[in-house]
Amino acid sequence: MKETSDIQEKTGIFDNPQNVKRLLIVFYASVILLLGVDFIYHKHTIFPWEEYFGFYSVYGFVACVILVIIAKYVLRPLVMRKEDYYD
């Protein structure tokens, strides 16, 4: 089913490193902006800790860092095997 022949080489938007840089700058700016929003609106929450400044931002960031660290340094050494392990 492979149809990899006769395909024209294409240049994509991210082949230019400048564009990747621009995207990252926009992304970082929006992240800072989103954190700043916590100053200007009042939350209606169920749990008291949701009202802390930047709770969701910090939780999202820390959760993902912990997720990756555990997956990489705890789970992978435990469960990773060669591709022919079951053969």
Left if phi > 0, otherwise alpha if psi is -120 to 50, otherwise beta: which for 47? beta
Per-residue binding string, another protein, 47-86, x by CB under 8 A, is x--x---xxxxxxxxxxxx-xxxxxx--xx--xxxxx-xx
Query: CA–CA separation, 21 vs 31, rounded Å?
Result: 15
In the complex with another protein, which residue's Cβ is closer, 22 or 70? 70
Give the nearest distance from C-beta 6 to another protein in angstroms.
9
The three-point CA angle 63-64-65 to 5° equals 95
Q: Is 17 in the site for another protein (CB under 8 A)?
A: no
Q: Is 26 in the site for another protein (CB under 8 A)?
A: no
